[in-house]
Amino acid sequence: MQHPILVTAIRAARKAGDIINRSFARVNEITITSKAHNDFVTDVDQRAEAAIVEIIRRAYPDHGILAEEGNRIPDKDFEWIIDPLDGTTNFIHGMPQLCVSIGIKHFDRLEHAVIYNPIHDELFTATRGGGAHLNDRRLRIAQRKDLDGALLGTGFPFRDFSYLDTYLATFKAFMLKTAGIRRPGSAALDLAYVAAGRYDGFWEFNLKPWDLAAGALLVQEAGGVATDFTGDQGFLENGNIVAGNLRVHAQMLHIISQEINKPKA
């Protein structure tokens, strides 16, 4: 039986997904504004977030909220970390790689996760200690033993280019050691794909908590490892994440550490 908080998160994600689906076929009619360079928001993001927050506030009025489009309600016990539409740029261009992401934290520990791609009707869920699921199927992370033949996911810098050279060094190192690298444009969904075994690993720099919270718990509950670049659990604070099974994660972490700490020419 699913935890009541997870049930509420699923209901909220599906409600937001309905809003996204109704607008996906007519993206030429949506309102688009720019929050910063290459960082867009639409009225669909805002309406989806409002629908999520309304459902949460009705069920758990005392819980805290940290949401991408501005809803902030502090609470020291429970915090809902929300991205109502991860992959907004994809959505604007009619590309179906996008999702609703909701992670719930209790006393600084991630406890529940929902990632929902409404276009493909794929619902990824996890509760700490209860495993990860895609719709009704239990997920297990890919069991590849090393990077040889691995398929990795990543995200390119698009707002802050101050770390671009370091990122490109890690990209080159992984490109030379793996079967391929993909960059579809939704970090939350990429992490869900690691949990589902579609990717063998994932890494990215400088993300936000709402990009990471739900996906990191999915990876962990599918039997994988998700850490920051030091091997600790600081990814929600510093935005850097590497994920995979135990062996792939260790190899990725080693390469990333080498490139980050390499003396500058």
Does the annotation place 232 within a ligand binding site?
no
Q: Which fold has domain 151-261?
A: D-Maltodextrin-Binding Protein; domain 2 (3.40.190)
Please, are residues 188 and 99 in contact by the beta-carbon 8 Å criterion?
yes
d(CA 34, CA 204) in angstroms, rounded, equals: 23
CATH code reported for the domain at 4-138:
3.30.540.10
> Is the pTM value of this prediction over 0.85?
yes
Does the annotation place 86 within a ligand binding site?
yes
Does the annotation place 228 within a ligand binding site?
no
Measure CA 229 to chain center. 16
Measure CA 31 to chain center. 24
CA-angle at 83, arms to 228 and 225, nearest 5°: 25
| pLDDT at position 139 over 90 | yes
Give domain limits for the chain: 4-138, 151-261
Does the annotation place 139 within a ligand binding site?
no
What mean pLDDT comes out for the span 36-43?
Answer: 63
Does the annotation place 85 within a ligand binding site?
yes
Q: Would 4-138 and 151-261 be classified into the same CATH topology?
A: no
Instruction: Tell me the per-residue pLDDT of 53-102, one tens digit each, with 9 for 90 and over.
Output: 999 999 999 999 999 877 788 877 999 999 999 999 999 889 999 999 99
Single-letter amino acid code for the residue at 218 = L
Pair of tokens at residue 57 = 């506030």
Instruction: Tell me the per-residue pLDDT of 149-168, one tens digit each, with 9 for 90 and over.
Output: 999 999 987 676 777 899 99
Instruction: Tell me the per-residue pLDDT of 189-200, one tens digit each, with 9 for 90 and over.
Output: 999 999 999 999
> How would residue 185 be classed by pLDDT, with cut points 50, 70 and 90?
very high
Q: What's 225's DSSP letter?
A: E
d(CA 114, CA 109) in angstroms, rounded, equals: 15
What mean pLDDT comes out for the span 165-183?
Answer: 96
Single-letter amino acid code for the residue at 143 = Q
